[in-house]
Amino acid sequence: MRFVLELDVIDGPFLIAMYALAAIVLLYLLFRGPGWAWVLTVIMLLILGSLIGIAVLWIGVNVLDSFGGPVDDSAWFWVPAAFAGITVAIWNLWHSRWWRKLIAVLAIPLFAATAALGVNAAYGLSPTLGSMFHISTADTIDPPMPDPATIVDPAEPLYATWIPPADLPATGEIGIVQGGVPSTVSGFAARPAQIYLPPAALVADAPRLPLVIMMMGQPGDPDASFIGDVLDEFAAEHDGLAPIALVVDQLGDPSDDPLCLDSSLGKVESYVMLDVVPWAKQRLGVLQGRQYTTVAGYSNGGGCAAYFGAKYPDVFGNLLAVSPVEYAGAEHPDDVLAEIFDGNQVAYDMVKPANIMAAKAPYPDSVAVFTVGEGDSAFVGGTERLADAATAAAMQTTLFLVPGADHDVVALAGGLEKGFDVLAPRLGLAAP
């Protein structure tokens, strides 16, 4: 079962096999009858199915806002293609032998699944079959308890004092936090957090390291593999030094969006600030100062990072927002205003990061990094406005557009890489 859940659905042989099988079945269904009459029928069916697919996707994106904004360009190929194939399959149910009917029936879910895999591969954010269904196969990790005697942050930056031991691992470790992060105060039903421990955290007498608290997108999971891959590359260039990254769940359920607030949807803000932060500072071997503490996030989680970084600068000296939602519920503000804030526009405006920054300005010692894919038309504007607000509030601000990226894994990886390049001196992991 684990083998099936860990199948690579981005560019592995399973995906290629699915593409090939769908193509073979489609060809079988296409070549049914002789003569030009059948050829013309097939052409009409393919055109009709494609138009239906385009219409369904257009309504979902522009009318129902089912996806929270524009979708990747690949969807405009895969969805019409799936509907075209399904239309041909349905036509094959009439006046055909039983085995052709059977193949046509099986072709319908096959074409739908292949299209879903194609779109997923374009985004690259669910790399395994399990992750597509929000099932994690990560092992558990019991983070080593820090020595209480080392709780005082060192006077000198780590890069200047760290001598990597001979047994330093080549890479860090990623896994589910054993026992989870208790939601004692908030009662929020968070899914298990994942953690990345860099090589320097895995040796005897490990130094205290910077802390990153990260949140992923929606729908999405608290998956530390993305930030772990980036920080492994960072550690390889910094003698094994990198932050400890704790990826927590701000959703509770991938289909829900509690907006990173305390509301009727769940006490997410209390979970992050009163459960996660104290637990991480006490339980993990991390540096305690705010300059070593970063809140980070991608997409929905990026909006959360902007919110927490703006509201709690005494806790988070740094914020790293990758392709962030501009503010809570920005995809459907009218619904959020009515359902969460009972129509109180002033109350809603007060939780928007840009407004919080303006109210709390100036920020004497906060670093903010905002990144977004250069082709991500739905998120570029909001990210730029957040960066402008941070700059106006006197944060040390960086805005970076990831070349060649949309709202996808390229933007996520590129944004994290840029973020930690900027933050490395601040975290004491590289010379200024």
Please write the tens of the pLDDT for every residue from 339-360.
999 999 999 999 999 999 999 9
Confidence check: pLDDT of 432 > 80: yes
User: Taking a C-beta distance cutoff of 8 angstroms, is the pair 325, 331 a contact?
Assistant: yes
**What are the residue ranges spanned by the domains of the chain?**
2-123, 138-423
pLDDT band (50, 70, 90) for residue 66 = low
Q: How much is the pLDDT for 361?
A: 97
Q: How much is the pLDDT for 104?
A: 94
Cβ neighbours for 155, distance < 8 A, ≥ 6 positions apart: none
Percent of the chain predicted with pLDDT > 70: 98
Confidence check: pLDDT of 242 > 70: yes
pLDDT band (50, 70, 90) for residue 289 = very high
pLDDT band (50, 70, 90) for residue 60 = confident
Confidence check: pLDDT of 324 > 90: yes
User: In this predicted structure, which of 27-36, 125-134, 278-287 has the lowest mean pLDDT?
Assistant: 27-36
Distance CA 249, CA 194 (A): 9
Please write the tens of the pLDDT for every residue from 3-46.
788 888 888 899 999 999 999 999 999 887 676 777 888 899 99
Distance CA 228, CA 235 (A): 10
Confidence check: pLDDT of 216 > 80: yes
Confidence check: pLDDT of 182 > 90: yes
Confidence check: pLDDT of 65 > 70: no
What would the 3-class secondary structure string for the chain be? CHHHHCCECCCCHHHHHHHHHHHHHHHHHHCCCCHHHHHHHHHHHHHHHHHHHHHHHHHHHHHCCCCCCCCCCCHHHHHHHHHHHHHHHHHCCCCCCHHHHHHHHHHHHHHHHHHHHHHHHHHCCCCEHHHHCCCCCCCEECCCCCCHHHCCCCCCCHHHHCCCCCCCCCCCEEEEECCCCCCCCCCCCCCCCEEEECHHHHCCCCCCECEEEEECCCCCCCCCHHHHHHHHHHHHCCCCCCCEEEECCCCCCCCCCCCCCEECCEEHHHHHHHHHHHHHHHHCCECCCHHHEEEEEECHHHHHHHHHHHHCCCCCCEEEEECCCCCCCCCCHHHHHHHCCCCCHHHHHHCCHHHHHHHHCCCCCCEEEEEEECCCHHHHHHHHHHHHHHHHCCCEEEEEEECCCCCCHHHHHHHHHHHHHHHCCCCCCCCC
Among 343, 365, 367, 347, residue whose Cα is nearest residue 356 = 347
Q: Please indicate whether residue 71 or residue 322 has the higher confidence score (pLDDT).
A: 322
Query: Residue 18 — φ and ψ, nearest 5°?
Result: -65, -45
Q: How much is the pLDDT for 304?
A: 97
Rg for the chain, CA atoms, rounded: 24
Please write the tens of the pLDDT for every residue from 400-428.
999 999 999 999 999 999 999 999 999 99
Q: How much is the pLDDT for 130?
A: 84
Q: Please indicate whether residue 22 or residue 2 has the higher confidence score (pLDDT).
A: 22
User: Taking a C-beta distance cutoff of 8 angstroms, is the pair 310, 360 a contact?
Assistant: yes
Confidence check: pLDDT of 107 > 70: yes
Q: Which two tokens stand for residue 231?
A: 């920080």
Cβ neighbours for 346, distance < 8 A, ≥ 6 positions apart: none
Q: Please indicate whether residue 237 or residue 7 has the higher confidence score (pLDDT).
A: 237
Query: Residue 63 — φ and ψ, nearest 5°?
Result: -105, -55
Q: How much is the pLDDT for 213?
A: 98
Q: How much is the pLDDT for 187?
A: 95
Please write the tens of the pLDDT for every residue from 68-96.
667 778 889 999 999 999 999 999 998 88
Q: Which two tokens stand for residue 70?
A: 């524009």
Q: How much is the pLDDT for 23?
A: 95
User: For 138-423, which CATH class?
Assistant: alpha beta
Confidence check: pLDDT of 372 > 80: yes
- Tally Cβ neighbours within 10 Å of residue 205: 7
